[in-house]
Amino acid sequence: MPAPLLSIATDPILPAEADCVVIGGGIVGVSAAYWLARAGQKVVLLEKGRVGAEQSSRNWGWCRQQNRDARELPLSTRSLALWEEMMADLGPDIGFRRCGLLYLSDDAAELEGWAAWGRFARGEGVDTRMLTAAETAERARATGRSWQGGVWSVSDGIADPARAAPLIAQGVVKHGGHVIQGCAARGIERAGGRVSGVITERGTIRTGHVVVAGGAWAGSFLHQLGIAFPQASVRSSILSVMPGAEGLPDALHTKGVSVTRRGDGGHTLAISGRGSVDLTPGIVRGARHFLPMFAKRWRSLRPGWTQGWTSGFETRAIWATDRETPMERMRVLDPAPSVPLIRETLARARALLPALRGIPVQASWAGFIDSTPDGVPVIDADVGVPGLVLAAGLSGHGFGIGPGVGHLVADLLLGRDPITEVVQYRLNRFRGSQWGKVAKF
């Protein structure tokens, strides 16, 4: 079974014009459209398949500050408050709650790394606490064993990947925007060098602004415009089990396995950092950009298959805008999970948490995590085409910071003071001094 996802009905009619068109119905795209609509903009959100059907429903659901790279931490903090603001407007079904995140370890070096991060983060106002032996024993009682230490990130939380993006999309409609599913954007029209319209499979929308929030598809779409966006994707495999396990932490991370309570009462199981690197045009052409990333993380990555190549999302071919494009041939990226990794994940989770033994598997799935060379997103309104904003390359961190990324996109488009500094998110950083500065977490 694929990842669980709420289905929503959306507008079948394509508006003729808009203040802004957002391309991509993942957590970043729906959040950008939501904040733009709340600001009174006439916004159209285009999704080639189903809202939230790719990585935005295939992640753990964590909304964390804990262990964030310093370049992302302010945006992470703001995003937590924005999750709460969205939920106050749209209702509790989004599933966000500040339940706290629990980290456990028997590795002295890992614990010292967390402690060092905590000393920095507390100076930034983050409530993160190293646990004493007694506190660790109390919080880890569901494991039935002792631990050397741990971290309790008090103000962090989780949201529901199965519901968040679709319900935020409904919020776009609530505030006067349009959401169109099953409609791929094929290209951008320009007049005088700047954006003048978005060409879709159903016709053209006249607009002066466009947001490219296409996740793993962003690089190939920008390539059509002559914009180089170094992007590579890792195929991650995870699973969920049915409801029935009681007494577990809502969100638990260990080096062996991580476990998260789902909105339906079941649990998502995953091994942090483990993934398969499928051969794709993006990896082949961008190898030099990603050498520092692979050098740092090669121990947790495995050679993949040809799924990434045949899916077409990293093609560097130039397509015609009056014919079917790769996005229409592959409406939803739904790669096959690694069966050995799924088995290993389930075995580790049941060994760690006795309450999971005997609980049946609900579903297993894979997703393509699009990454930048430094593991930090690109959020930029100056990428070479006036009127175009890029928000992609969330590098496996996007679900939790999606509301903040979307708000920052709206800030850039509307000329408002941004909610955080933006220099660290610019695309041109890959041309020079940022090379090799890979995110630590």
Task: Point out which residues pair with 179 in neighbouring strands.
Answer: 45
Taking only the tens of pLDDT, the chain with its 441 residues reads 679 999 999 999 999 999 999 999 999 999 999 999 999 999 999 999 999 999 999 999 999 999 999 999 999 999 999 999 999 999 999 999 999 999 999 999 999 999 999 999 999 999 999 999 899 999 999 999 999 999 999 999 999 999 999 999 999 999 999 999 999 999 999 999 999 999 999 999 999 999 999 999 999 999 999 999 998 888 999 999 999 999 999 999 999 999 999 999 999 999 998 887 777 777 666 666 666 666 665 556 666 667 777 888 888 899 999 999 999 999 999 999 999 999 999 999 999 999 999 999 999 999 999 989 899 999 999 999 999 999 999 989 899 999 999 999 999 999 999 999 999 999 999 886 455 577 665
Q: 28 near 391, Cβ under 8 Å?
A: yes
φ and ψ at 308, to 5 degrees? -65, -40
Between the alpha carbon of residue 259 and those of residues 120, 141, 251, 291, the distances in Å are: 26, 15, 6, 31
Going along 173-222, which residue ranges are E strands?
178-181, 185-191, 194-200, 203-206, 210-212
pTM of the model: 0.94
Which residues 6+ apart lie within 8 Å of 184 measured at CB? 46, 48, 200, 201, 325, 327, 328, 331
Strands 275-277 vs 301-303: parallel, antiparallel or unpaired: parallel
Joined together, the tokens standing for residue 393 give 């390359």
